[in-house]
Each structure stands twice: as structure tokens, then as C-alpha cells.
């Protein structure tokens, strides 16, 4: 998985907003591999949280920036909560797997 292209809060915010807008999965949002350990997930979460926390001075200049930062912060917090818990992570991974198409079986032939 890629790491953020910048340690600049505004660039990181824009990058993560794009993922949130595209309904990206938790792994993409936190920028970790699917086989990342809980410790790696936690470390990446804290690194991103420090960059996009809505109370940072860089986001205080505009209500829109602060709102965007809050939205991204909530998304990465939810992603961390899901991926850090083994049971929630297993359920989440199962939800990502493609579901088989239902098979239509005609019980009685049409007249």
C-alpha cells in the first residue's frame, strides 16, 4: 500500500478526502496493506490523525477546511476501530469479498 505523498496537512487532507468521497475501503483510507498487523494499523492511524485533526491551526482558517478535516478524522477513526478489533476486521474482510450471484431455479416449468 502506498504511504502518503506528503507530511503536509493540507495535501494529506485532500488525498484522504478523495478516498472518503470514493467510498474507499478502510485499508485504502489508512494507507495500509490488507495483511497489516494491528500495531501497523494503529501506528498509521496515529500518524494520519496528527496530520488531519480538525483542531490543528492550519484548518482554523476556514469553516470548510475544518469540516473536511472533521469528516476525514471521523472516517479514519472508524477505520481504525474496525481494523484494530479482530472480530470486526474479520467481518469487514468478509463483506469485501464478492458475493455469488443467486441462482434462479424454476421449480415448475412455465405452461
Cell numbers at residue 28, please? 485504502
pLDDT per position as a tens digit, 60-84? 888 999 999 999 999 999 999 999 9
Whether residue 21 is predicted with pLDDT greater than 80 in this model: the reply is yes
- Which pTM does this prediction carry? 0.77
Q: Do the beta carbons of residue 21 and residue 75 sit within 8 Å?
A: no
Residue pair 32/44 in contact by the 8 Å Cβ criterion: yes
Amino acid at each position: 500500500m502506498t504511504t502518503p505523498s506528503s507530511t503536509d496537512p493540507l495535501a494529506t487532507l485532500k488525498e484522504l478526502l478523495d478516498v472518503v468521497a470514493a467510498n474507499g475501503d478502510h485499508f485504502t483510507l489508512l494507507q495500509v496493506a490488507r495483511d497489516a498487523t494491528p500495531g501497523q494499523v494503529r501506528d498509521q492511524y496515529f500518524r494520519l490523525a496528527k496530520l488531519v485533526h480538525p483542531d490543528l491551526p492550519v484548518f482554523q482558517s476556514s469553516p470548510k477546511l475544518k469540516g473536511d478535516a472533521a469528516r476525514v478524522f471521523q472516517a479514519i477513526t472508524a477505520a481504525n476501530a474496525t481494523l484494530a478489533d479482530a472480530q470486526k476486521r474479520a467481518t469487514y474482510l468478509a463483506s469485501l469479498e464478492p458475493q455469488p450471484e443467486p441462482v434462479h431455479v424454476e421449480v415448475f416449468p412455465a405452461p
